[in-house]
Amino acid sequence: MMRVAMDFFHQTEEAEDVVQEVLMRLWIREKTKKAPCDEELTALAIKATKNQCVSTWRKQKLRQAIPIDDSLTHIRSDERADKPLMTMEQAQTIDRAIRQLPRSEQRLILLKQTADLSSDEIATLTGIPIRAVRTMLSSARRNLLKLLKQ
């Protein structure tokens, strides 16, 4: 059995693993079924070793084809697996809270956050004095924070 596995893998470690696996399976089979004669047992052991070598080789090729490191390069090690879902849920919660604000505050928050406009640009667009825009934005943020804490 060892010679068959060595011919297949050319590495002692892998050959020993295969032989150990086959012996374990033969031992379990012997406990549950009638024991074959010595010639049948030898043939069965050789055939099982060949099959296990092929199975082990296929698993190794599959692992090499899809390396774990390459498939996870876009995920940082400190990033949680559920972060995209949590980000989406947080965005939905914020959207619901914004919809509860008075219309004027909703409009200013959306212009500031979504449209990414400065206070000066918002003042020009709405016709509201710059100091009033800043005060209203501050008030809108406070109200939004209260709604989010609820």
Let me know whether 99 and 39 are in one domain: no
CATH of residue 136: 1.10.10.10
Domains contained in the chain, number:
2
Among 18-22, 28-32, 135-139, the least confident range: 28-32
Let me know whether 96 and 135 are in one domain: yes
Determine the angle formed by the axes of helices 12-32 and 38-65, rounding to 10 degrees. Answer: 130
For the chain, percent of residues with pLDDT exceeding 90: 21
- Is 93 within the bounds of a domain? yes
- Is 78 within the bounds of a domain? no
pLDDT tens digit sequence for 81-129: 677 777 788 888 888 888 898 998 888 888 888 778 888 888 888 888 9
> What pLDDT is stored for residue 67 in this prediction?
53
Domain termination site, one of 71, 106, 127: 71
Range of the domain at 17: 2-71
Distance (Å, whole) CA 107 – CA 140: 10
Query: Hey, what are 27's tokens?
Result: 């031992």
